[in-house]
Amino acid sequence: MGYRLSRTDKVHAALLAVCGAVLVCAYWVAFYHSNLTLPESVLHPDKPGHDPFALVYMGFESAFPLADLLVAVAASLAAFYLIGRDAKAVLFGLIGSGALGFLALIDISFNLHHGLYALLLRDTGMQLELVINVACVAGAFWSIWRFWGHPLRRADDRAHPERAL
């Protein structure tokens, strides 16, 4: 408990709790209860009910909640341990941020391969998707970078100098 939380730590914990956990939950609640997150081409396909792309898109998106569960839980635990000034914040922070970055890159890859970013100018669902993609990648890598050099991890390094070769 000797470590004192910096202002950046407090911001980091808030970002983990709000963006990594609460907003991920909110996205999936919106996905199942509204059309807010869906692109126009899926909402209004050429052949409703039989459009192959709409079926592929919905199948792809429906595979994410279980994986996002890991992100939301790990991010919550990272925030929980960071507020408690415990070194496990680094462990859960790296797990959650790594998982978030991985899932964001898969999503971006899918959108690129299917030309979905080309719909950006006329599709509010895709505009939201782009904002989420950019925020997830930027947030995940910033969080990984920050946890990697975090004093709580350095403290563990210093506590075990025998590990050094």
Which positions touch another protein (CB under 8 A)? 17, 21-22, 24-25, 28-29, 32-33, 62, 65-66, 68-69, 72-73, 76-77, 79-81, 83-84, 86, 88
User: Of the two residues 41 and 76, which places its CB atom closer to another protein in the complex?
Assistant: 76
Beta carbons within 10 angstroms of residue 32's beta carbon: 10
| Contact in structure between 70 and 98 (CB atoms under 8 Å) | no
Closest alpha carbon to 14 in 144, 143, 151: 143
Closest contact distance (angstroms) between CB of 69 and another protein is 4
Closest contact distance (angstroms) between CB of 62 and another protein is 7
User: Of the two residues 19 and 120, which places its CB atom closer to another protein in the complex?
Assistant: 19
Phi, psi of 149 (to 5 degrees): -100, 15
User: Of the two residues 54 and 116, which places its CB atom closer to another protein in the complex?
Assistant: 54
Closest contact distance (angstroms) between CB of 82 and another protein is 10
User: Of the two residues 35 and 62, which places its CB atom closer to another protein in the complex?
Assistant: 62
Closest contact distance (angstroms) between CB of 149 and another protein is 23
Torsion of CA 70, 27, 139, 137, to 10 degrees: 90
- The residue count of the chain comes to 165
Closest alpha carbon to 63 in 111, 107, 114, 29: 107
